[in-house]
Amino acid sequence: MSDYRINFGNTVGPSDSNKLYDMLGILGGEDELIITLDAAGEPSQYDTIFKVLEENEFNVSTKGGHEGGKYHIIAKRKG
């Protein structure tokens, strides 16, 4: 099992989406992906990331919030 990390900052743009898709192709069944965003970002961006992960059959959980300044999305393949 390996842990992979992506840091997006407070804005998720097209190049970030491409980076996410590239990373999904690398992840094995036991691997975990942790995506970190600045909590000050637009919440609708989180929805876009959730949608990509769910469409690619990942279980998703979240951690963090506005107090800590960071928002973490933790993804692991279903199954």
**Overall number of domains in the chain:** 1
Sequence-ordered list of residues with C-beta below 8 angstroms from that of 68, at least 6 positions apart, any chain: 39
Give the CATH number, domain containing residue 73.
Answer: 3.30.110.10
Is residue 7 within a helix (H) or strand (E), and if so which, with residue range?
strand 3-9
Q: Report the alpha-carbon angle 66-69-73, nearest 5.
A: 80
* pLDDT tops 80 at residue 66: no
* pLDDT tops 80 at residue 28: yes
Mean pLDDT score across all residues of the chain: 86
Helices 14-26, 43-55: crossing angle, 10 deg rounding: 30
- The whole-model pTM stands at 0.85
Per the structure, the complete domain to which residue 17 belongs is given by: 3-77
pLDDT, tens only, 8-22: 887 788 888 899 999
